[in-house]
Amino acid sequence: MIVDPKVVTAFTDTHVAQMTGYLAITSLRLALLVNFKSAKLEWKRIVC
């Protein structure tokens, strides 16, 4: 699993594409984007 912490206003398609690329390079299947910008933790799970 790859975990990518971010401090951004919102996740974009670029963030998802970057994680998909990381998954392809590493042959892993699961990635987690975590956003620490707001008081409520925001996350996005990416499975390939």
pTM higher than 0.75 for the full model? yes
- Give me the count of residues in the chain: 48
**DSSP letter (8 states) at residue 8:** -
pLDDT tens digit string along 23-33?
999 999 999 99
4 membership: H or E segment, kind and range:
strand 2-6
Q: Report the pLDDT value the prediction gives residue 31, as an integer from 0 to 100.
A: 98
Q: Report the pLDDT value the prediction gives residue 43, as an integer from 0 to 100.
A: 97
For residue 20, the number of C-alpha atoms closer than 13 Å in the C-beta half-sphere is 7
Q: Report the pLDDT value the prediction gives residue 32, as an integer from 0 to 100.
A: 98
Average pLDDT, stretch 8-21? Answer: 97
Domain locations in the chain? 2-47
pLDDT tens digit string along 33-47?
999 999 999 999 999
